[in-house]
Structures are given as structure tokens and as C-alpha cells.
Amino acid sequence: MSLSAFLKQNSVTPENKKVAISKRFVENGKPIEWEIKAVSEDINSKIRNSCTTTSTFKGRQTTNFNRNLYLQRLCAAAVVYPDLKDAELQKSYGVVGDAELLAEMLLPGEFGYLLEVVQEMNGYDADRFEEYKEEAKNS
């Protein structure tokens, strides 16, 4: 085995995925496809840190993680289209911020579906992990 397979120029970049997240956004009678991308661990770490707070009470330090905010921000970072940073789009929903826009724009089931797609794009697919383990064993 060679380490050259791990060099950045030899790694396979995940392709963006186009998927209709909602039937409520239509053009020419068809649901509009959203474009979703994989997020690097560097970006994921920054999002995770932005959703973690530390507080001290009576000399004890407590760390709190806002899971809902994390999931909203992770999804917002993964959405390529529609452009969630577009000021006009945010203004039409009366919000400021891409994660806030998603929360206002989508119904709970739609957000759940988007989250499912984002997690799959970012490698959180247990079935795929098992396939990779099998492939590695059989190689």
C-alpha cells in the first residue's frame, strides 16, 4: 500500500447532489431541486464550536451544546442552491442569517429530509460505512 492515495490531489471530491427538498417551491409545475454539498471537518468543527457555550455557576464549569442550532447551521453550510445568504431571500422571510432562513423557510418534515440528505453527503450513513468495511476486508 502506498500513502500517495491519501494525497489531496488523489482524493475523490464528493459531488454535489441535487434533490427536491420540498414540493412547495415549484417552477414550471415541478419542484425546484436544491443543490447540496459535503462540508469539510474544518467547517463542521467551527459550526460545532459556535454552538457550544461554557458557563460557570458556583465555581463549576458547564458546557452546553445547542444541537438544534448546530443542525440548522450544518444544513445551511451544505446548501449551495438556493443561496441562503441572499439578502432579498432573507428579507422576504423577515430573517437575517442563512440558518435562520432555513428554520423559517422549511416545514419540520422538509427540514428533516434536508438533514437526512446533508448527513448522507457528509458520511453519516451507517450502511455505507459497513460496505466500506467489507470492501476493505475483501481487498
Could you tell me the CA-to-CA distances from 129 to 17, 71, 95, 113, 124 in Å, in that order? 19, 21, 38, 20, 8
User: 103-137 as b/e, with b when 16 or more CB fall inside 10 Å?
Assistant: bebbeeebbebbbebbebbbeeeeeeeeeeeeeee
Is 45 domain-assigned? no
Is 66 domain-assigned? no
H/E element holding 121? helix 108-121
Placement of cell 459556535 in the chain: 50
What does each of the 139 residues of the chain score in pLDDT, given as a tens digit?
788 888 888 888 889 999 999 999 999 999 999 999 999 999 999 999 999 999 998 889 999 999 999 999 999 999 999 999 999 999 999 999 999 999 999 999 999 999 999 999 998 875 665 666 666 666 5
pTM of the model: 0.82
Is 59 domain-assigned? no
Is 88 domain-assigned? yes
Burial class (CB in 10 A: 0-12, 13-18, 19+), 138: exposed
Q: State which residues form the domain around 116.
A: 3-38+73-131
CATH code at position 107:
3.30.2220.30
What does the DSSP 8-state code read for residue 56? E
How many domains does the chain divide into? 1
Is 54 domain-assigned? no
Per-residue cell: 80: 449551495
Is 57 domain-assigned? no
